[in-house]
A and B are shown apart, each in its own frame.
Chain A
Amino acid sequence: MKRIPVREQAPEVRAHNFDEVCFGYNEEEALLEASRCLNCREPRCMQKCPVSVKIPRFIEQIRNKDFAAAAETISQDSSLPAICGRVCPQETQCEGNCVLGVKGEPVAIGKLERFVADWSRDNKIKVAHAAPLNGKKVAIVGSGPSGLACASDLARMGYDVTIFEVLHKAGGVLQYGIPEFRLPKEKVVEPEIENVKALGVKIETNVVVGRTVTIDDLLEKEGFSAVFVGSGAGLPRFMNIPGENFNGVFSANEFLTRNNLMRAFSPESDTPVYIGKKVAVVGGGNVAMDAARTALRLGSEVTVVYRRTEKELPARAEEVHHALEEGIVFNMLTNPVEILGDEKGWVRGLRCVRMQLGEPDASGRRSPVEVPGSQFDIEADVVIMALGTSPNPLIASTTAGLQTERHGCIVASEDGATSRRGVFAGGDAVTGAATVILAMGAGRRAAAAIHKYLSE
């Protein structure tokens, strides 16, 4: 049997709205897809899941129509399944390792996870179980996936957990970065955060750790016994090419924050967003795809400029596929060298050169090299830079004895211990920009390590 296709909004319709692209499986489809799983004795899918969700088990429970049990199974390892089912790079993790994928198409594990999570939310199944309080307080910096995962595990062990978040809404990148059409906020993100709160976790928004309070204040004055830093990697990079400060050049973070956190796409919102006629997005990751598809929905014509080939695009396969369907133009093997402006300092184009992939380097990766004399211009009145982000230096610079390395990443061991006793860290703040599931995994390992540290 073939993989059950998932229903989606038609590309020409969704290009004009911010509603979720993918409808997900209904019960009948989920049952059919679940029946494709071979229930391998040594499940290869699980080996590739960073939080080791018991995949064959929950799929078997779907097959038995016991969706509540499936939800319980997933919740033992993941506190944000409706989110992960939507945004994990399944093709390089669970599904990428599925035996069925060797000859045909892998089981749609992500879509099944999403089905279970959506079903359990719609049927108000309670999977969270809080434990009696053990009298110890733990502070968490940042309410992204790493902080939420760490908080859930600690609350389940009986800790009194408070998350401090600088923005006015919890969720980290889930809230400010990933767009509504891929990860609906009210329907998906907020209920999952409510589940975490249902465990007794408190979330204090509008607190800048490092400024409003420092980590030392939390440990010494506010009675917290340990701190987990999950502050992410929010600092956007620019290329340092001429013209980058012309009006009309934005970091993807700015463009996405205006639209997601501030909901500038809605007429109700007071926050403005600048809508270009022709938008050029530089980069090839999820962030670039999200910025491009957001601009498209606001009514712009969009070109993505990427210096390698389609094969190397780091974005999730599904996002690239959706972007192409929606009519986004890709300019591969292209690298910007200058942003062109008019006499008033507003963007009018992007000067680029063509690239070719050179000889493989020591790591086997073929890095792009410029084709001599290949310069050309792309017309654009908005340029969005999606070149990656690094951790914000604020926490490290205000916490004595907290070591960081080259790109500002906090130095931490596998279980999250930092150079400061009692201070743990994980997620993008440690690894640099990565994925939701890796951040969750790091938060969970740190929770275990904090428990061990506080039980000593």
Chain B
Amino acid sequence: MYNIVKKTFLTPTICLMEVEDPRIASAAQPGQFLIVRARPQGERIPLTICDYNREKGTVTIVIQIIGASSRMICALEEGESFTDFVGPLGQPSDFVKEDDGQIEGRRYLFVAGGLGTAPVYPQAKYLFERGAKVDVIVGAKTADMVILEKEMSAVCDNLYICTDDGSKGTRGLVTEKIKALLAEGKKYDQAVAIGPMIMMKFTTLTLKETGIPLVVSLNTLMVDGTGMCGGCRVTVGGRNRFACVEGPEFNAYEVDFDEAMRRQTMYKPQEIEADHKCRIGRDK
């Protein structure tokens, strides 16, 4: 169970894994996530579902090494297994509930920041296959942090890449690219932004005046991912919502991003310490 059938590093710190789990593979929908544990004393780590193959019974996940637990996940090799692998969790994206006829011809703008490219991929693919018009902006720090470029270009009409240092695509932030596209006269019926909280916040501010509906996927802290702990709570539309069961996708214009960003830092000191220990352990 939960066997890793394929592992590749997309960048030196971002790893893609294809994992066997027939039940999840047959149930997964765009917008959903899963929770994994890499070892018996491991943390429960939420990861978005990047792709699923119902015939092969596998799901694809993409992990970035940002701390002790993600480092441990990326240390697992092909042929090894996760200790635990559970999902799909959360609500599928709204468009999954719609008829294919409604989707056809609708104009989508996806804004993906860094690792956010992974969860954008299944959504773009789902919509593109059903005849939607799909534009994707991918933002990354540098050229070698851009992931899934080939896969993404196969499932959208236009792929725009921006990097902070201009080493690939346009130099600058995704928000500048959004403004540029709108200034060119591009029209969208729906936008979706997935990436670091700060990038989603500024995308929201940028799109607010345009009246284009915007959905964001919130990567809050989570423990169980089933609605049991409330650690993932966010304020949306002035109400407390549990991102793991009512989300992870919400109407961006109603999200309290500042609170969400602050809550993400709850365990920062412990995480830094754990990662430090983990590296020391590894270097010995």
> Residue A122 at the B interface, CB < 8 A?
no
Nearest-CB residue, chain A, relative to B32: A211
Mask, A269-281, CB within 8 Å of B = 1, is 1111010000000
* Chain A nearest Cβ from B90, distance in angstroms: 8
Range for the number of chain A residues in contact with chain B: 35 or more
Q: Which of B199-234 contact A (CB under 8 A)?
A: 223-224, 226-231, 233
A400 within 8 A of B: no
Given A238-B240, A268-B41: A394 and B228 within 8 A (CB)?
Answer: no
A-B pairs with CB below 8 Å: how many?
114
Q: Which of B27, B42, B229, B259 is A254 in contact with, Cβ under 8 Å?
A: B229
CA distance A272 to B227 in the complex (A): 19
Tell me, yes or no, whether A244 is within 8 Å of chain B by CB.
yes
Min distance, Cβ A429 to any Cβ of chain B, angstroms = 13
CB within 8 Å for A394 and B69 given contacts A166-B86, A168-B37, A274-B266: no
Residue of A at shortest CB range from B2?
A206
With A and B bound together, what is the CA distance between A319 and B223 in angstroms?
A: 27
The answer to whether A212 touches B24 (Cβ under 8 A) is yes
Looking at B131-139, B164-172, B267-275, the stretch in contact with chain A turns out to be B267-275
**Are A168 and B265 also in contact (CB < 8 A) when A211-B27, A240-B240 are?**
no
A124 to chain B, nearest CB (A): 25
CB within 8 A of B227: which of A167, A168, A247, A392? A392
Q: How far is the CB of B242 from chain A (nearest CB, A)?
A: 8
Say whether B228 contacts A235, CB under 8 Å. Answer: yes
Task: Of the listed stretches A19-27, A41-49, A68-76, A256-264, name the one at the interface; the rest are far from the partner chain.
Answer: A256-264
Q: Is B68 at the interface (CB under 8 A from chain A)?
A: yes
Say yes or no: A254 contacts B88, CB within 8 Å: no
Chain B contacts for A270, CB-based, 8 A: 39, 41-43, 68-69, 72, 274
CB of A285 closer than 8 Å to a CB of B? no
B89 touches A247 (CB 8 A): no
- Asked if A254 contacts B223 (CB within 8 A), the reply is yes
A391 to chain B, nearest CB (A): 10
Interface residues of B in 1-43 (CB under 8 A from A): 23-24, 27, 32, 37, 39, 41-43
Q: Within the complex, which residue of A168, A261, A394 is in contact with B86, where a contact is CB–CB below 8 Å?
A: A168
Residues of A within 8 A of B265 (CB): 247
Query: Is A235 a contact partner of B227 (Cβ separation < 8 A)?
Result: yes
Do A211 and B88 touch (CB < 8 A)?
Answer: yes
Nearest Cβ in chain A — how far from B21, in angstroms?
Answer: 9
Distance in angstroms from A234 CB to nearest chain B CB is 4
Which A residues lie within 8 Å of B224 (CB)? 166-167, 176, 257, 261
- The one of B42, B229, B262, B271 that contacts A345, using a Cβ cutoff of 8 Å: B262
Given A208-B89, A244-B240 in contact, is the A234-B235 Cβ separation under 8 Å? Answer: no
Assess whether A236 is interfacial by the CB under 8 Å rule.
Answer: yes
Which A residues touch B227, using CB under 8 A?
Answer: 234-235, 392-394
Closest chain A CB from B184 CB (angstroms)? 40
| Structural contact, A274 and B267, CB atoms closer than 8 A | yes
Q: Which residue of B lies closest to A392 (CB)?
A: B227
Question: B42 to A394, Cβ gap below 8 A?
Answer: no
Contacts known (A168-B37, A236-B228); A245 close to B263, Cβ less than 8 A: yes
Asked if A371 is at the interface (CB within 8 A of a chain B CB), the reply is: no
State whether the Cβ of A253 lies closer than 8 Å to any Cβ in chain B.
Answer: yes
Bitwise interface map of B from 180 to 200 toward A, beta carbon under 8 Å scored 1, else 0:
000000000000000000000
The answer to whether A79 has its CB under 8 Å from any CB of chain B is no
Selected from B32, B44, B233, B262, the residue in CB contact (under 8 A) with A262 is B44
A168 engages B83 (CB within 8 Å): yes
Residues from 389 to 439 in A contacting B, C-beta threshold 8 Å: 392-394
Give the interface SS of chain A, mostly helix, strand, loop or mixed.
loop
A70, chain B: closest CB distance, angstroms: 36
- The smallest C-beta distance from A313 to any residue of chain B, in angstroms, reads 23
The proximity string for B residues 60-87 relative to A, scoring 1 for CB distances below 8 Å and 0 otherwise, is 0000000011001000000000011111
Q: Does A213 contact B (CB under 8 A)?
A: yes
- A392→B244 CA distance, assembly (Å): 12
Q: Which residue of A lies closest to B24 (CB)?
A: A212
Q: Is the CB of A330 closer than 8 A to any CB of chain B?
A: no
CB-CB under 8 A from A251, the residues of chain B are: 229-231
| Cβ of B47 under 8 Å from chain A | no
Q: Confirm or deny: B159 has a beta carbon within 8 angstroms of a beta carbon on chain A.
A: no
Asked if residues B228 and A257 are in contact (CB atoms below 8 Å), the reply is: yes
Cβ B266 vs Cβ A392 within 8 A = no
**CB-CB contacts below 8 Å: A155-213 with B:** 166-168, 176, 205-208, 211-213
Contact between A245 and B266, CB atoms less than 8 A apart: no
Tell me if B223 and A258 are in contact (CB < 8 A): yes
Q: Does B145 contact A (CB under 8 A)?
A: no
B85 touches A206 (CB 8 A): yes
In the docked arrangement, what's the CA distance between A254 and B220, Å? 14
B229 touches A263 (CB 8 A): no
CA distance A393 to B226 in the complex (A): 10
The residue in chain B whose Cβ has the minimal distance to the Cβ of A235 is B227
- Residue among B27, B224, B262, B265 facing the most chain A CB atoms (10 A cut-off): B224
A263 engages B23 (CB within 8 Å): no
CA distance A272 to B270 in the complex (A): 6
The reply to whether A247 and B266 form a contact with Cβ atoms under 8 Å apart is yes
In the complex, A166 Cα to B41 Cα: how many Å? 18
Note all chain A residues with C-beta closer than 8 A to B83.
Answer: 168
Contact B230–A213 (Cβ < 8 Å): no
Please report the C-alpha to C-alpha distance between residue A167 and residue B84 in the assembled complex, in whole angstroms.
9
Q: How far is the CB of B239 from chain A (nearest CB, A)?
A: 9
Give the residue name and chain of the B residue nearest to A166 (CB): B226
| B274 & A245 in contact (Cβ 8 Å cutoff) | no
Is the C-beta of B245 less than 8 angstroms from some C-beta in chain A? yes
Bound form: Cα–Cα A251–B221 in Å? 14
Partner of B274, one of A176, A212, A272, A344: A272
Contacts A235-B227, A262-B223, A393-B227 aside, 19 further interface pairs with beta carbons under 8 A come to A166-B86, A166-B224, A168-B37, A168-B84, A168-B86, A206-B85, A206-B86, A211-B27, A212-B88, A234-B227, A248-B266, A258-B223, A262-B43, A270-B39, A270-B42, A270-B72, A271-B223, A272-B271, A274-B266
Subset of 20 A-B contacts with CB under 8 Å: A168-B44, A168-B84, A205-B84, A206-B84, A212-B24, A244-B240, A245-B259, A247-B262, A250-B231, A253-B229, A253-B230, A257-B228, A261-B224, A270-B41, A270-B69, A271-B223, A272-B43, A272-B271, A274-B267, A392-B245
Nearest 3 pairs of A and B residues by beta carbon: A254-B229, A272-B270, A206-B86
